[in-house]
Homo-oligomer: A and B are copies of this chain.
Amino acid sequence: MTGTIETLEPLRRHLLPIAHLNSAASVLSWDQETYMPPGGGEARAEHLATLQGLAHERLTSPETEELLGRWLDLKTGEPLSGATDGWNPIARALLRETWRDYTKAKQVPNDFVRRLGKTCSLAQQAWAEAKKQDDFASFLPHLTAIVVLKKEEVGYRGPVPTPYDALLDTYEPGATTAQLLPLFAALKRRLIPLLDRIVHSPVKPREALLTRRYDRDRQLAFGRMVLEAMGYDFSRGRLDISAHPFTTSFHPSDVRVTTRVSEQDFTGSLFSCIHEGGHGLYDQGLPATHYGTPLGESVSLGLHESQSRLWENCVGLSRPFWQHFYPLLQHTFSDQLRAVAFDDFYAALNSVKPSFIRVDADELTYNLHIMLRFEIERDLLEDRVRVEELPQLWRDKMKSYLGIVPPTDREGVLQDVHWSLGAIGYFPTYTLGNLYSVQFFNQARRDIPDLPDRIARGDLLSLKAWLNERIHKWGRLYTADELVRRVTGEPLTPDHFLTYLGNKYGELYKL
């Protein structure tokens, strides 16, 4: 037995229609968020449910079991005795990751998937309305039902050290609560004092400098230009408008990003472009030859987020980036920015300030928003808090970590869509992404010693090529942990991130 990818060709051929169904579902979702007329929503939900159902059916089918069972024990994922001896890493990874996907899909009964889907569909509508009306009580029964279901899901996922791990692993394979706790502890220990010093610093960036009226089309053209500079390939992508920016991929040859536009504030649209562009580069950089198998997919949500945050923060909020792009921005918005000096602009852009809304948070306070959610989710799963107590718990934690209390639930516990989608255990991937991003960026700086100079000259392609080569092209060949060790020579650590923040904001706020 050769044990190469060819050995697994029957498996690959069997998986391919699943990828096609998932890609088709992604096209339908993209359309739903961008161009679908309002009347189309109900039918669209049915179409999506059928595509997802067929994909799930095929992934958990006897054919999958037969094809995997030739080589490994379906219960444990361990290779049958001697069956894969001498196989190359690609073939082994394909088997390992396919088994993982199969097992994840098989763990939960079809009936549960349907119940969860229906509950979340209703919950999402209830959440949107509750948020609009600032009425947590109307969302309460829905969220309660979801928490009950997610606890049921924990039961299906097999033995885990702590319930949270069962859900977390869906979004971040291999991550555990035991790994997250010290990370968040370190962040808490360092970020809260740092924030306190910033809040009390005499330096006050004048953010109001940025609040002007910016033409919508010019904003989009500027965002497009930056995406092109990043190496995002428009012959294999698009930029559209949606209420909540996102990236979606149907194949490495068709990866689309969206942004939002506000005429008052160009940063919303531009940083969404850069953030989603980072996701987009990852998806465009995945190996097309492995499309349809796990080897053609991204490692985890945290790894994906590392790519968006690296571009958004390490690049897009950096001095070198704006050395090149600020003159271009001033040229584009001459009336608005002509008189704004570089340093004032840069400081305003990097202003740190406790705020209520996670998605608008600066890169320092952002992780405190995540920590709060992580703690609440664990409390829910381990019955330390009841759902009706969440609004108050939220306010207490905001007070304790950020020193502010949201005046409404709309700006508090109701702000995020995730729980209404059943996505409990998802939030920590954002923080993991932030930590990975700086750790990767520091390595890129070591590997490309003049990287800041290159960025300051507008050369973003060197960094893009490095990311393609070191991270994107491997798909799921390596686990997140293996990949970060391979790329940076050490496991994930909060040190890079904390040092980066300390240096950057120490300088900006003269601490």
Residues on A close to B: CB < 8 A? 16-17, 20-21, 23-25, 27-28, 31, 35-40, 42-44, 46-47, 49-51, 53-54, 233-238, 240, 250-251, 253-254, 256, 291
Q: Does A39 contact B235, Cβ atoms closer than 8 Å?
A: yes
Q: Does A251 contact B40, Cβ atoms closer than 8 Å?
A: yes
Q: How far is the CA of A235 from the CA of B47 in the complex (A)?
A: 19
- A37 touches which of B40, B53, B235 (Cβ 8 Å): B235
| A284 → B minimal CB distance (Å) | 9
Q: Does A250 contact B43, Cβ atoms closer than 8 Å?
A: yes
Q: Does B43 contact A23, Cβ atoms closer than 8 Å?
A: yes
26 A–B contacts, CB within 8 A, in A order? A16-B46, A16-B50, A17-B53, A17-B54, A20-B49, A21-B54, A23-B43, A24-B27, A24-B47, A27-B27, A27-B28, A27-B31, A35-B35, A35-B238, A37-B236, A37-B253, A39-B253, A39-B254, A40-B251, A40-B253, A40-B254, A43-B250, A43-B253, A43-B291, A44-B254, A54-B54
Contacts of A51 in B (CB 8 A): 20-21, 24
| A250 → B minimal CB distance (Å) | 6
Across the A-B interface, the 6 shortest Cβ-Cβ residue pairs: A40-B254, A43-B251, A20-B50, A39-B236, A39-B253, A20-B47
Q: How far is the CA of A31 from the CA of B43 in the complex (A)?
A: 17
| A232 → B minimal CB distance (Å) | 11
- State the main secondary structure of chain A at its contact with B: helix
Q: Does B38 contact A50, Cβ atoms closer than 8 Å?
A: no
Contacts of A20 in B (CB 8 A): 46-47, 49-51
Contacts of A240 in B (CB 8 A): 35
Most buried by B among A16, A21, A27, A28: A27
Contacts of A256 in B (CB 8 A): 37
Known: A17-B50, A44-B254. A233 touches B39 (CB 8 A): yes
| A44 → B minimal CB distance (Å) | 7
Q: Does A254 contact B50, Cβ atoms closer than 8 Å?
A: no
Contacts of A43 in B (CB 8 A): 23, 250-251, 253-254, 291
Q: How far is the CA of A28 from the CA of B16 in the complex (A)?
A: 17
Q: How far is the CA of A27 from the CA of B49 in the complex (A)?
A: 15
Closest to A42 in B: B253
Most buried by B among A16, A238, A240, A254: A254
Copies in the complex: 2
Q: Does B17 contact A24, Cβ atoms closer than 8 Å?
A: no
Contacts of A37 in B (CB 8 A): 234-238, 253-254, 256
| A434 → B minimal CB distance (Å) | 30
Contacts of A233 in B (CB 8 A): 39
Closest to A40 in B: B254
Closest to A292 in B: B46
Q: How far is the CA of A47 from the CA of B292 in the complex (A)?
A: 11
| A18 → B minimal CB distance (Å) | 9
Closest to A18 in B: B50
Q: How far is the CA of A42 from the CA of B16 in the complex (A)?
A: 15
- A47 touches which of B39, B234, B250 (Cβ 8 Å): B250
Contacts of A40 in B (CB 8 A): 236, 250-251, 253-254
Closest to A253 in B: B39
Q: How far is the CA of A330 from the CA of B234 in the complex (A)?
A: 39
Known: A16-B50, A37-B237. 13 other contacts (CB 8 A): A16-B46, A17-B54, A21-B54, A23-B47, A24-B25, A24-B51, A27-B31, A35-B35, A37-B235, A39-B233, A40-B251, A43-B250, A43-B291
| A292 → B minimal CB distance (Å) | 9
| A254 → B minimal CB distance (Å) | 3
Q: Does B39 contact A21, Cβ atoms closer than 8 Å?
A: no
Q: How far is the CA of A350 from the CA of B178 in the complex (A)?
A: 78
| A121 → B minimal CB distance (Å) | 16
Q: How far is the CA of A35 from the CA of B254 in the complex (A)?
A: 11
Q: How far is the CA of A36 from the CA of B21 in the complex (A)?
A: 18
Q: How far is the CA of A42 from the CA of B47 in the complex (A)?
A: 23
Closest to A21 in B: B50
Contacts of A47 in B (CB 8 A): 20, 23-24, 27, 250
Closest to A291 in B: B43
Q: Does B23 contact A24, Cβ atoms closer than 8 Å?
A: no
Q: How far is the CA of A20 from the CA of B42 in the complex (A)?
A: 12
Contacts of A237 in B (CB 8 A): 37
Q: How far is the CA of A201 from the CA of B355 in the complex (A)?
A: 79
Contacts of A50 in B (CB 8 A): 16-17, 20-21, 24
